[in-house]
Amino acid sequence: MIAGRKRKAKAAAAAAAAAAAAAGGAPASEDRQARSLVTPEGVDLKLRLGEAGERATALLIDLAIMVGVLVGFSLLTLLAFLGSKGKGGEVIATIWMLAFFVLRNLYFILFELTPGAATPGKRAMGLRVAARNGGRLTADAIFARNAMREIELYLPMGFLIANNGQVGAWISLAGLVWCGVFLLFPLFNRDRLRVGDLVAGTWVVKTPTRKLVPDLVQSSRPSHGRFAFTQAHLDAYGVKELHVLEDVLRRYETKTIALVAARIRQKIGWKAAPDESDGDFLAAYYAALRGRLESRLLLGKRRKDKHDKG
């Protein structure tokens, strides 16, 4: 069944590419940043990789935040030192070193462990970290990709700064080449992977914004602004019910639409407005449910059906 859904997803992607070519547009295969990631449930996430410029900008934003926090904390420790009239200097210095260690080593890890899987810099650029195999983004993968940053960036840069010209020109050049190789590594592979991404099995993608399938929009013309579904409403169903609902909307048989709409309203506790159309309700719920499930799938959280509590 899973294999059949994968074949269907791939066939749909090929059909979309052919339609785009027939319309005079560039086929999807020409988009070098687009990736087709079919999950075991047969849902094609259609990811788009982050551009090198976007990732570099995100990194600069994060580094600026880190420097700002460090400067602010340094000022606080300086004021504490002056306030203590020079006493407890070793304790204050230890606290500063501890804060620097946490900021340097845990900033990226803690933010990427959040549900958004993104640092403030990545969020500003519309990026996030995802597992390349479509599975769950694990803590091990996040630790691995960020541990490599020590080798890629911090270690060589720290070496060059700490020696203050006490090393020869050739060693300094070797350090710069080391930095350059790791910093430019994403430019020389198809998926724009850092060495850390390569080791951890991750990649940085654009945060997906999913839209309702165009033919379903045309058939039902939902007024999405009227429907505000809560997380509890959307957690009532899973991928299996999503596929069933899609089939119902494609066939659009009036009696079936009314029956399914009544059943879903009862299941989620939705009170219909006097002028609420069953078709509009189902189309809006389909769009919201699909967006919710695909967002969870990107994190590796699969809910097969309404009985699955995962």
Examine the pLDDT at 307 and tell me if it is beyond 60: no
Which among 118, 141, 149, 137 is positioned nearest to 199, based on CA atoms? Answer: 141
- Say how far apart CA 244 and CA 252 lie, in whole Å: 12
Q: Are 220 and 283 in contact (CB under 8 A)?
A: yes
CA distance 187 to 171: 25
What pLDDT does residue 27 have? 45
Confidence bin at 6 (pLDDT 50/70/90):
very low
Tens of pLDDT, residue by residue over 93-137, are: 888 888 888 888 899 999 999 888 899 999 999 999 988 877 778
pLDDT tens column, 207-252: 755 444 454 544 444 455 578 888 888 888 887 788 788 878 887 8
**Confidence tier at 87 by pLDDT (50, 70, 90):** confident
